[in-house]
Amino acid sequence: MDFACNGKFLRVNLSDGTLESEPVDEALWRRFGGGWGLVGYFLLRETAPGIDPLGPRNPLIFATGVLTGCRIPGSGRHSVGAKSPLTGGFGTAEAGGYWGVELKRTGFDGVIIEGQSSDPVYLYIHDGEAELRDASDLWGKTTGEAHEFLLSALGKQVRTALIGQAGENLVPYASIIHDLGHVAGRTGLGAVMGSKRLKAICVQGAKGISIADTDEIKKISQWLVQNLEPLCGWRRDLGTSALVLAYDALGGLPTRNFREGSFEEAEEISGEKLRDEYLVGRKSCYGCPIRCKRVVSIRDRYTVDPMYGGPEYETIVALGANCGINDLQAVAKANELCAAYGLDTISTGVTVAWAMECAEQGLLPEAEAEGLCFGNKDAMLEIIPRIAKREGLGYLLSKGAYRAAGLIGSGAEHYAMHVKGQELPMHEPRLKRAMGLGYIASPTGADHNHNAHDNAYVAPGRFLDMATTLGIQGPIPLESLETEKLRALHYQTLWMTAYNCIGICFFLPYSYEQIQRAVKGATGWETSTWELMKIGERAFNMGQAFNVIQGLDPDLDVLPKRFFEPLEGGILHGAAIDSDIFGKALGEYYELIGWDPITHIPSMGKLRELGLDWVINLLPT
């Protein structure tokens, strides 16, 4: 095929060691865009209700999108997906970097891993060939050790997707680490990989990715380069860590397990301090001149290896302010440990913070708390490897905040900051109320990768302009949960989900028109914002349909009670979500997106409108 994709996936059965090439035709690409969309397609077709997420019948899917590797900045992304061991429902996570592009260069657009190997293996895909190799020596190794071994064995050009001990030990929020610095972090896909005894997927290819219109692609790239400084200067300079002080100033910096909205020592963990004191470099993703990713090196109170890059906003806050920790060195070390052991930093930080608050509240006996309390950085650093190894208190915490709280009971659930079992990212719902609705409605549980930021709509600027282009009429007050805010949330969700299908980074300041031109440039398709939004909507609905089929309890589609209680500290001190207003808005939102407000099942009309009539037959009757 000649439309930016190879038109085939590699299907690997680890139970019997077979490897096959499977066609994925242009019609499927056009309907699903790739990434999340194709993950959803394969999961819905191939996954029976009630399967064990950590059993052989759960396929682990790596999928690029039509834009992956299309040579415009931001096109280095791919998706990973499976039934999530964390939520029991739709699991997907995206990663940037180079791995997805390199996979495409091998001649495959994606990989579907089925079954379960009896012994540890790794998969090596190179130049249209694929083979399984013994990984016994790599089992138990950190991701860094395994990565170095694989590069020395296969050559320095190889790209790796790896799990650490967390994945091997089936921690349900284990991540998949690509080239050590690009993480598919959420929904516990590392554990799915671990359950298959697959340590790594290494890719290396030399095949070109065919582009329908290289001039068009060049134009977009040039535009970005020319506008880099005014539009992306701050991202270049500070990366996502710029948000630490920004959200502290807005009163929405999750602090001490979301109890507070401002951290008195935010300066100490700020992006500015990170840049000024520890930054030794900036990592890029494929083709991106922004280079927003941090590389830090520390040899002081803690030793932090630059091999793993450095912490981003979510990580700094989850393992910093949210644990009451004010030492950026410790935060960077925690980030390194999570990368080395293959743990999602958000879920790790929120689960540790839960334990800290439980200890403070006397719900976790001092003798068992292993020193965890808000601000105790060394206790935090010690517990991370123990979570990955499931030792001592680490065993309890390896369950994630929601399940751990269920185990100890006595009100500990009150302190578990999760939706559907997945821990909240670092966006405070009392600041961002529509995002709170988005957490609930997301097929993956609390997730910020396809969600709306209420603060984006309060004043003129790029995000409000983007919303206006879709017909939203703003500005919309920060606290509003009126119709216009719900529409903004809906449309933003669809667009971000589309990004997660086609394989483009949301940090790039492209307009809808530019993305449309990029898709045309890559594929030759005459497309439209409408078609792309519908790709996002289709993927989003497929995720939820999967949840319904897997029997997820709609009663778990709630926000933790904490957010209906007054926030402490900062300029939003005392702010609480009104549960009546929120509940009404949630019901309206479900109706607005075409899902039943009680069961949360996508309507047959919505599924048909998206061309998903075949999914209707899969739903429980």
Scored b (16 or more CB within 10 A) or e, 238-257 reads bbbbbbbbbbbebbbbbbbb
Query: How far is it, in rounded angstroms, from Cα 77 to Cα 98?
Result: 8
Binding site residues, its own copies, CB under 8 A: 27, 30-31, 465, 468-471, 473, 482-484, 486-487, 490-491, 511-513, 525-531, 533-535, 588, 590-594, 603-605, 608-609, 611, 613
- Counting runs of H as helices and runs of E as strands, what totals does the chain give? 24, 18
Nearer to its own copies, 439 or 525 (CB): 525
Residues in contact with 287: Cβ distance below 8 Å, sequence separation at least 6, in sequence order: 71, 72, 73, 74, 75, 76, 221
How far is the C-alpha of 598 from the C-alpha of 139, rounded, in Å? 45
Nearer to its own copies, 384 or 466 (CB): 466
Closest CA to 37 of 506, 591, 500, 521: 500
Q: Are 541 and 607 in contact (CB under 8 A)?
A: yes
User: Residues in the chain, how many?
Assistant: 621
Considering the complex, what minimum distance in angstroms separates the CB of residue 462 from its own copies? 11
Residue 516: CB minimum distance to its own copies, A: 8
Those residues whose C-beta lies under 8 Å from the C-beta of residue 219, and which sit 6 or more positions away, are 517
**CB of 587 vs its own copies, minimal distance in Å:** 10
* Cβ at position 617, least distance to its own copies in Å: 12
CB of 539 to its own copies, least distance (A): 13
Tell me whether residue 355 or residue 437 sits nearer to its own copies (CB atom): 437
Name the 3-class secondary structure at 279: strand
Q: What CA–CA distance (Å, rounded) separates 56 from 117?
A: 9
471/620 with CB nearer its own copies: 471
Cβ distance to its own copies smaller for residue 32 or 313: 32
User: Under DSSP, is residue 418 helix (H, G, I), strand (E, B) or coil?
Assistant: strand
Nearer to its own copies, 535 or 601 (CB): 535
- Taking the complex as a whole, how short is the minimal distance between the CB of residue 211 and its own copies, in angstroms? 20
Nearer to its own copies, 207 or 584 (CB): 584
In whole angstroms, the minimum distance from the beta carbon of 31 to its own copies comes to 7
Pairing of strands 90-95, 182-184: unpaired
**Rounded Cα distance, 209 and 65, in Å:** 12
Closest CB to its own copies among 167 and 536?
Answer: 536
Nearest approach, Cβ of residue 249 and its own copies (Å): 29
